[in-house]
Chain A
């Protein structure tokens, strides 16, 4: 982990902070798109060190948070079917559906297993031929290649008891949706480095051109974040709107071509409903017709489950950067990580959880 330490070096971060301060002549509101970035701003304490003129608003880049509530209800309905072993990333297990979460379903006897990769779920399917194994394929462009790989391998190896509850989302359409709001105050974006490592950033160039907003593809370590901010503010102060790449050690303009080819083989782009943001056209991946026999929604006939978001949770506004978690009346009172009302309080990338876990100002004010 030597190389990571370099990106957490206190002196380098301080020097960059000073440079940022000197660049700044007026206030700017900017958004870090990815929840991992939000968490690291707070976890590293960097949020408290930023110059006053910079307002960070937190974006929709928390895969668990934007997975629509009816999909969680569908997941629970699936997990409760007697023959089903339902596999999911750990984060997803505590996200409340309209009545309960997957962990509660598990405690009542549903067969729910936490896995780290869809390929683990595929292994479980091979080891349990008498069961039907469903993987909750959530996430952005970062998890999509693995999900595609699992689908492909299932076909190749003739595993016919493996299914995907497909819910992959795409980041650029969500950024465009945020920008298209008439009263959008966001003047620039830190784009998610991990996502761009897979997808590249050609699509972001379109957005920058169309909306005249600068975008900086940024990593996740404290030094990455502060460098990304410096590049973004420099663009804003000089009236430029390009896509720049701070995360050169990993992301490229074209992205990972092999991963993209894999995704294209298995998925096609479709409309998706985002929790909190509503439906966004061409913003997700669905399984191609050739893979319909792996599509859990079709195979298990759960397509018509619908659900409503709880009224008091303002996750939608939080995910669009319109409200801070602390502006939610339930924050820290009715809604805590132990008793979350909404997904942003559960996920390790959710803004509400980040504020609750690390936010020092809340305790001292």
Chain B
């Protein structure tokens, strides 16, 4: 972590108070992480900044991850905060190449929350855990005064057994970049409820446990290098993070990226770019080029991966001049080129 220490005090001093965008998964979140958290917490296990940490205990590799959920509304088409919280941590573990096993669940309830709503959330936590084949083995509940929390916040942590280590730094020039399905579904589903937008067909969150897809990929591809679930900040932010961590450039093909027409339409209306919209049931995989067909086949053999597509590749030597390290370039539909930046502010406040 070469950026340790407050070498660049500007970003934080400019903001005397925390902004929503500090939690948005984009550049401001990164500033907060690098300038405030990491200098204090720095250790080699945290260093890869992956979705979860991989720790060794008596010869076994365990993946360990945590995430908090503050989504509003609590219930939305395709899911709710409970399902999101279970799948979110399950997916973070799966992205480490691990089989998710045990979860904890912490509830922060606001005084006045409807008992019926709480029951619904707990029920769906239970269901999601069963579907993902994990056990909720410990938990905690706290109640805060009315006005001190937004009805219900959830935290889940989890551990899983690493089957094969996958890390951003394993990504190599020439790797195929594969996405497991259409992008932006979750973010747009939340937006459509929150903003009261109505569309011809209902937008549904894609929240799902991705472990079944991961298991298939691990089975069929020996040269699977890295996985990431592009949640907050969308695939643009996920790819930029990996490009930075792996020290590579990436080239995307705009026309290859699967986007549902309804999602594209909603993005036009809202002025959003689907590349930056959150997903909760999609993964991005980096696989050696020779194995990209196998990976596609593996993904498409499962309903969650039926729209899987190769969307680009990690830049090789020849491209490196037009695609420097750490950048993501896109070949556009009309034959031009542009940069795909990390998300800079908050695109969707409090999306997960």
Contact = CB atoms under 8 A, between A and B. Distances in A.
25 contacts: A1-B264, A1-B265, A4-B268, A10-B333, A13-B335, A42-B338, A43-B338, A45-B334, A45-B337, A49-B334, A49-B336, A103-B21, A106-B19, A114-B349, A116-B195, A222-B333, A223-B334, A337-B344, A337-B345, A339-B11, A348-B271, A358-B338, A360-B322, A360-B337, A362-B339
B332 interface: yes
Given A44-B332, A44-B333, A107-B18, A1 B261 contact: yes
B10 interface: yes
Interface in A99-134: 103-104, 106-108, 114, 116
A329 to B, nearest CB: 17
Interface of A: 1-2, 4, 8-10, 13-14, 42-49, 94, 103-104, 106-108, 114, 116, 222-223, 336-339, 348, 356-360, 362-364
A338 B338 contact: no
Contacts of A362: 339
B78 interface: no
A205 B288 CA distance: 59
Nearest to B269: A116
A48 B337 CA distance: 7
Contacts of B265: 1
B234 to A, nearest CB: 14
From A13, A48, A360, residue with most partner B Cβ within 10 Å: A360
B133 interface: no
A46 to B, nearest CB: 5
Contacts of B11: 338-339
A363 B339 CA distance: 9
Contacts of A336: 27, 344
A100 B333 CA distance: 39
Say whether chain A's binding surface is mostly helix, strand, loop, or mixed: helix
A14 B332 CA distance: 12
B298 interface: no
Contacts of B268: 1, 4
Given A104-B17, A108-B17, A116-B195, A338 B344 contact: yes
Nearest to A12: B334
Interface of B: 10-11, 14-21, 27-28, 31, 195, 255, 261, 264-265, 268, 270-271, 321-324, 327, 329-339, 341, 344-345, 349
Contacts of B336: 44-49
A14 B333 CA distance: 11
A345 B48 CA distance: 31
Contact of A10 (B27, B321, B327, B334): B334
A256 to B, nearest CB: 19
Contacts of B333: 8-10, 44, 222
Contact of B332 (A9, A45, A348, A356): A45
B321 A364 contact: yes
A357 B334 contact: no
A9 to B, nearest CB: 8
Contacts of B337: 45, 48, 360
Contacts of B344: 336-338, 357
Contact of A104 (B19, B264, B327, B345): B19
A49 B270 contact: no
B225 to A, nearest CB: 24
Given A10-B333, A44-B333, A338 B17 contact: no
Contacts of B27: 336-338
Nearest to B272: A348
Nearest to A103: B19
Contacts of A9: 333-334
A337 B327 CA distance: 17
